[in-house]
A and B are shown apart, each in its own frame.
Chain A
Amino acid sequence: MSKVHVSTTVNGDAVEFLCESDETLLDVLRDRLNLTGAKEGCGTGDCGACSVSLDGRLVCSCLVLGAEVEGSAIETVEGVATEDALHPIQRHLLENAALQCGICTPGIVVAAKALLQKHPDPTEEEVRYWLAGNLCRCTGYDKIIRAVLSAAAEMRGASA
């Protein structure tokens, strides 16, 4: 069976690749495009470590086929910081010691960014439910939630 040819945009750059028809977007990102920020924690959409943004929608890239993203815009964790600076979410995660091993962190960064784009002033409960699809085994979530809330405050222009 011959591979599928896909043209898409990743982190703002035009990208072309060939992939198998049954290859996931996660595998394409990691194995063909060398973007290893998205992680495979489960392969079944239960852990959120593979989270990316697809046409502005938060998805698990392990549940999307590489062949499906023709003409789409994908943002991965590698595209969150600008050339000059870290995104406030990334900064606040660091300042709040909200990561230990860091394997869930890319997914959290992408998911939190998607949340704050949609709901710039979430309550603690809303943050917790939004991030319920991102498993973390190290932190117990406490410092992650604090970091997202304080990043949200900074992004709204309010005092942290």
Chain B
Amino acid sequence: MARVVIFGSLRAYTDGVGEVEIAASTTRALLKELARRYPGLREVIEAGVSLAIDGEVFKEAWFTPIGEDSEVVVMPLMVGG
């Protein structure tokens, strides 16, 4: 089960829950499940989020594998200049 950490202001869509456990082997599957459990997050996820898997940031890829005991942090979509 991956441990998913949701950053502070997004907890408004999860009834204040900051950490959930989700069984998913790819980033896409994980985001789909997250949107299913918390419909309020769907818009944010569709607009785009980045994910940090065990500290490594992945900008927006769907099929990045997630390990059994990974920590996944949901972050705003990365931008640069």
Task: Indicate yes or no for A touching B, C-beta below 8 A.
Answer: no
Using a CB–CB distance below 8 Å, which chain A residues touch chain B?
Answer: none
Using a CB–CB distance below 8 Å, which chain B residues touch chain A?
Answer: none
